[in-house]
C-alpha cells in the first residue's frame, strides 16, 4: 500500500471527530495515513477536542484560534505546507463518512487510469450526501458528478451535483474540481497549492484550471468512496464570526478574475508578481482549458454539451449566454386557491423543453391581492421560442396552461 497525506480543514465543526473515526476505521491500511488538520477552534466549543488523537503519530494538528483564521483556502494552504513526500494526497472537508477500504478503492481507480495512459489522474467530485441525524440510513446510494450551475454576478463559475448512471464501469472524465474530495499524487500539494488569499467562491474553478494547466486530467469516481454533509446545520461559519469577511471575499474574487481573465480582467506586472506560486501551470494554457471544458470566462458563456454533462473534449459548438426573462400574467388567469406548485417551462421551436422551474407555495402566497404577477426566470442555454406557465391544483391536478411566445 502507498502512503496518503490526508488534508482536513475544520472550522468549529462538530462532525470533525466522527469524520476522523470513520476515516481511520474504514481504511484498509490506516498505518499509511498522515492526517493533517487545520483545527480552527473556539475555546467556547467544549466538544471540539482532539484529545483522543494527541498521541497518535499519524496526526499533524495545526491549532488555530478561530479569530486568527482567514478562511478556507488559507487553512488548506497551511495544511499543504506539511506535505512530506507521501505518495498520494486526499483533500477533504471535516464532515464525511467513508466506505470500507476507501483507500484501496482510490488507489485502484488511480492505477486503472494510469494503465490506460493517463499520466496524472486527479479523482475529484461532489460526494453523495449523508445526514448525521439519520446515519447511515439516509446515505445517498448513487455516486455524483459535477455539472455547471451558473456564473455569479462576479463571473465566477459555480457547480451542482448530478447522478452518475448506474453500472458505469470507469471513472468519468471531468471538467471541474471539488474542494471537498480530491485524490491524486502527493506532488499536487507543491505544484498546485491552495492560494491563501482566496476566500471561498472561486476555490474550485481556479484549482480546476490550474490543475489542468499543470497536466492533470480530472475524473469523477464511478463508485462511492465517501459521503459529504451539505446542510451545514449546527456549524458556525467563518463569515459569521469574522465581521470583515466581505473584504477578504472581494479581494479574493478580484484575484480569481485576474487568474482566469474573467470580464477580460487585466493581469498587470504587479498582479502577476502577487500571483507567483498560485498562477497557471507550464504545460497547457487557459484557452486550452476553456476549449476543453466548453466554458468561456471572458464572455461568461458555456457550450450545450457542458450544460448536458457530456464528456469534456474540444468541440466546435456555439456558446450560450445567460437567458433572463420576465413573464407577466393576470391574476384572473389563476382561478384556484390550492396550487401546490406552478411549473414555468421554456421550449424551443420543436416544443422540446429547455428549462423548467417550479414555483412553490411559499412564493405563490405572495401573489395574493396582486392584479399582475411577474415571474422572473434565468438560465444558461439555448434561446427559447415559447414559455408555458402551468399551475397544479391540489384538488384538480394540472389546470389550464398559460402560454406565450418569447419576445
Domain boundary among 228, 260, 291: 228
**Greater model confidence, 265 or 315:** 315
Q: Is the pLDDT of residue 266 over 80?
A: no
Does the residue 153 lie in any domain?
A: yes
pLDDT of residue 346: 96
Over the stretch 384-405, which tens digit does the pLDDT of each residue have?
999 999 999 999 999 999 999 9
* Mean pLDDT over the full length of the chain: 94
At residue 270 the predicted structure's pLDDT band, cuts being 50, 70 and 90, is low
At residue 382 the predicted structure's pLDDT band, cuts being 50, 70 and 90, is confident
Q: pTM score, two decimals?
A: 0.86
The reply to whether 211 and 357 lie within a common domain is no
Residue 48 has, within 13 A of its CA and on its CB side, a CA count of 25
Q: Is the pLDDT of residue 271 over 80?
A: no
The reply to whether 330 and 214 lie within a common domain is no
Does the residue 241 lie in any domain?
A: no
The reply to whether 210 and 359 lie within a common domain is no
Q: What is the mean pLDDT of residues 267-275?
A: 73
The reply to whether 336 and 200 lie within a common domain is no
Residue 64 CB: number of other CB atoms within 10 A? 20
The reply to whether 12 and 124 lie within a common domain is yes
Does the residue 276 lie in any domain?
A: no
Q: Count of domains in the chain?
A: 2
Give the CATH number, domain containing residue 354. 2.60.40
Over the stretch 273-309, which tens digit does the pLDDT of each residue have?
778 899 999 999 999 999 999 999 999 999 999 999 9
Q: Is the pLDDT of residue 81 over 90?
A: yes
Over the stretch 155-203, which tens digit does the pLDDT of each residue have?
999 999 999 998 899 999 999 999 999 999 999 999 999 999 998 889 9
DSSP structure class, residue 54:
T
Which are the contacts of 12, defined by CB distance < 8 A and separation ≥ 6? 40, 41, 42, 45, 48, 66, 235, 236, 241
DSSP calls for 146-207: EEEEEE-TT--EEEEEEEPPTT--SPEE-S---TTEEEEETTHHHHS---TT--STTHHHHH
The reply to whether 81 and 222 lie within a common domain is yes
Does the residue 109 lie in any domain?
A: yes
CA–CA dist 280, 261 (Å, integer): 12
Does the residue 283 lie in any domain?
A: no
CA–CA dist 87, 186 (Å, integer): 5
The reply to whether 81 and 194 lie within a common domain is yes
Q: Which domain holds residue 183?
A: 4-228
Does the residue 314 lie in any domain?
A: no
Give the CATH number, domain containing residue 128. 3.90.550.10
pLDDT of residue 239: 81
CA–CA dist 213, 289 (Å, integer): 7
Long-range contacts of 301-306 (CB under 8 A, 24+ apart): 302/148, 302/380, 304/381, 304/382, 306/148, 306/175
Domain boundary among 228, 245, 267: 228
Does the residue 342 lie in any domain?
A: yes
Over the stretch 210-224, which tens digit does the pLDDT of each residue have?
999 999 999 999 999
Does the residue 378 lie in any domain?
A: yes
The reply to whether 330 and 217 lie within a common domain is no
Q: 177: exposed, middle or buried (C-beta count within 10 Å: 0-12, 13-18, 19+)? A: buried
The reply to whether 81 and 202 lie within a common domain is yes
Q: Find the angle CA(205)-CA(121)-CA(295) to the nearest 5 degrees.
A: 30
The reply to whether 168 and 29 lie within a common domain is yes
**Three cell numbers written together for 154:** 462576479
CA–CA dist 286, 228 (Å, integer): 30
The reply to whether 44 and 171 lie within a common domain is yes
The reply to whether 220 and 86 lie within a common domain is yes
Domain boundary among 194, 228, 262: 228
Amino acid at each position: 500500500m502507498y502512503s496518503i497525506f490526508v488534508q482536513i480543514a475544520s472550522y468549529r465543526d462538530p462532525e470533525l471527530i466522527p469524520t476522523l473515526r470513520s476515516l481511520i476505521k474504514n481504511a484498509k491500511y490506516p498505518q499509511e495515513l498522515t492526517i493533517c488538520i487545520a483545527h480552527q477552534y473556539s475555546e467556547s466549543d467544549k466538544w471540539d477536542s482532539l484529545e483522543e488523537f494527541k498521541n497518535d503519530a499519524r496526526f499533524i494538528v495545526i491549532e488555530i484560534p478561530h479569530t486568527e483564521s482567514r478562511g478556507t483556502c488559507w487553512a488548506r494552504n497551511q495544511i499543504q505546507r506539511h506535505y512530506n513526500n507521501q505518495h498520494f494526497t486526499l483533500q477533504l472537508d471535516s464532515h464525511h463518512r467513508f466506505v470500507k477500504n476507501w483507500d484501496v478503492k482510490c488507489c485502484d481507480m488511480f492505477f486503472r487510469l494510469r494503465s490506460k495512459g493517463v499520466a496524472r489522474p486527479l479523482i475529484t467530485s461532489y460526494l453523495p450526501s449523508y445526514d448525521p441525524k439519520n446515519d447511515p440510513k439516509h446515505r445517498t446510494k448513487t455516486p455524483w458528478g459535477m455539472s455547471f450551475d451558473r456564473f455569479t454576478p462576479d463571473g465566477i463559475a459555480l457547480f451542482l451535483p448530478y447522478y452518475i448512471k448506474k453500472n458505469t464501469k470507469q471513472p468519468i472524465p471531468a471538467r471541474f474540481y471539488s474542494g471537498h474530495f480530491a485524490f491524486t499524487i502527493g506532488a499536487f500539494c507543491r505544484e498546485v497549492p491552495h492560494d491563501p488569499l482566496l476566500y471561498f467562491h472561486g476555490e474550485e474553478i481556479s484549482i480546476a484550471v490550474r490543475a489542468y494547466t499543470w497536466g492533470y486530467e480530472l475524473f469523477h469516481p464511478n463508485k462511492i468512496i465517501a459521503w459529504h454533509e451539505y446542510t451545514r446545520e449546527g456549524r458556525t461559519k467563518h463569515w459569521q464570526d469574522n465581521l470583515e469577511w466581505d473584504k477578504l471575499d472581494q479581494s479574493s474574487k478580484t484575484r480569481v478574475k485576474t487568474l482566469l481573465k474573467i470580464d477580460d480582467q487585466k493581469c498587470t506586472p504587479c498582479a502577476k508578481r502577487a500571483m507567483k506560486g498560485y498562477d497557471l501551470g507550464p504545460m497547457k494554457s487557459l484557452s486550452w482549458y476553456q476549449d476543453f471544458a466548453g466554458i468561456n470566462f471572458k464572455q461568461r458563456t458555456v457550450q450545450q454539451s457542458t450544460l448536458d454533462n457530456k464528456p469534456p473534449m474540444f468541440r466546435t459548438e456555439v456558446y450560450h449566454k445567460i437567458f433572463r426573462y420576465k413573464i407577466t400574467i393576470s391574476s384572473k388567469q389563476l382561478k384556484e386557491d390550492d396550487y401546490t406548485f406552478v411549473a414555468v417551462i421554456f421550449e424551443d421551436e420543436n416544443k422540446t423543453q429547455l428549462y423548467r422551474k417550479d414555483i412553490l407555495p411559499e412564493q405563490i402566497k405572495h401573489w395574493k391581492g396582486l392584479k399582475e404577477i411577474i415571474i422572473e426566470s434565468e438560465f444558461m442555454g439555448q434561446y427559447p421560442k415559447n414559455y408555458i406557465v402551468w399551475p397544479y391544483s391540489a384538488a384538480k391536478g394540472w389546470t389550464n396552461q398559460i402560454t406565450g411566445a418569447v419576445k
